[in-house]
Amino acid sequence: MVNTLRIGVLALQGAFIEHIHVLDTLRSTEHISEIIEVRTKAELDRIDALIIPGGESTSIALIAERCGILDDLRAFVQTKPTWGTCAGLILLAKNAIHTKKGGQKLLDALPVTVSRNQFGRQVDSFTIKLATPCLGADAAPFNYVFIRAPAIVSIDDPEVEPLVQLPPGHGQTEASENGLLVAVKYRNMLGTSFHPELTNDSRWHQYFVRMALGTA
């Protein structure tokens, strides 16, 4: 456990700037000493925790491979606090379905199966307010933003802790009849389907920082 954090945001593609902006608002209250855009192994080696943003998961993996850091990312996420949002969740997962033809490279770390683009196209994006106990028992509902989002369709290790489940009827498979999982925690990893960086609510970022510090 560390007293302050150097947090990295993988900055190869996608919504990394938005995450940096949210983290910047938390510097004075959440023990963040530095926020680093990560594109190289040297930058990865400097950080204590990592956010893998939303974007296009296949593109992020390809760019990481071409930059020579895909294997370094695989090693990092096994032991260091890591949060994957949307595309980042797909990359963190051990298994992904409904991927592009030929499949895609994954970091093979979070023992779940993720359905890519579970909720359809951009036009099918939606928001929903849900009570979220892990953010505080008496906390106000969080406004969840889903944009071409994946969903967790199976938990493949009993240590995986479900955090957020949608009400029945959201999603396009039979699994949605029971409500799809959209956030889980596993050891040092946090995986979420939604885009908290596109809201004015920093509570999920606070949760991750406190998780990385060992206080969540």
Catalytic residues: 86, 195, 197
Rounded Cα–Cα distance for residues 153 and 117 (Å): 12
Positions of E strands within 116-157: 126-130, 142-146, 151-155
Rounded Cα–Cα distance for residues 6 and 216 (Å): 17
Instruction: List the one residue out of 108, 75, 69, 68 whose CA is nearest residue 92.
Output: 108
| Geometric angle at alpha carbon 215, from 212 and 216, rounded to 5° | 80
Q: Are 188 and 178 in contact (CB under 8 A)?
A: no
Instruction: List the one residue out of 57, 61, 53 whose CA is nearest residue 7.
Output: 53
